[in-house]
Structure 1
Amino acid sequence: MTTPPASDAELLRLDHQVCFSLHAASRAFGGVYREALKELGLTYPQYLVMLVLWEHGPEPVKRIGERLRLDSGTLSPLLKRLEAAGLVHRERSPQDERSVIIRLTGAGEGLRERALPVPRRMLAATGLTVDELRTLRSLLGRVTSALDEG
């Protein structure tokens, strides 16, 4: 038996808004990440940049922005702070002077080892199983794709 559709007025309730549930979950994640990343000296956006570089190696700023869905106005100051912290190095591409390549420094590479426990710590904080988390990530990927196409 299926549930009858809710009225428009019922659908307008805050607790029925998927966007608010995602927003609340994102803020809660942010708090847990802030604590987990404190000992690494990283903010959450900096951690995301480091994840891209640990996974893919040197990348143009543009590609990092595409992967993280960040514009250059947000990404550039973030990269400057990572460079000032000695974790990355920025250099002009020899093939295209307009392109800036981001490379990990030795310290940036070394930080990866210290970051290894973070994903498991986050998994534990969610209270979900690995399979539940995979399902959630898959569903969120579908939602994101549909909204991008929409």
Structure 2
Amino acid sequence: MEQVKIYKISLYPILALMFTGGIMFFSFCFMSLTDILLNIFISFVGLFFSFVFLGYSFYLLRKRREGKGFYWDDEGIVIDLHGNKVYWDEIESIQYSDVRGMKSTVIYPHYTNHEKIRIRRKKWMPTTAHSIDWFYIEKPKELHKNLMKTWEEKKH
């Protein structure tokens, strides 16, 4: 078995969520002092969003410290931070996607495998494509290039 390279989560989205999302919302919720009811509403909304952004940033930071990330091996490709895989024989195609500036590598399983993957991932609805967003990866171009090279080898 070949050496597996894990593409970790980048620190950029963690810091962006933590500072712009969490701390900014937290500080904005205490800036409005004109109306008491409006201030209470803004404070609750601000606190809610700040806790959501801070919670997700700490979740990503914990996964990064645990060494979780995206990789592939002889069995298949890990498509999320929980370690769920799409096996090589289930994949129909892998493509690059750039929709409105959000670049990603999209894995399309064959339609006959959607239900199998849904059961394995314990989801309610099947997914027709699995996206690895480049925003979260440290070296996304390298991941895509190496994955496409491996996919060409596995296809033949």
Task: Normalising by structure 1, report the TM-score.
Answer: 0.33
TM-score computed with the length of structure 2 as normaliser: 0.32
* Structure number having the greater strand percentage: 2
The higher relative CO (CA closer than 8 Å, separation ≥ 6) is in 2
Quick check: which one's helix share is greater? 1
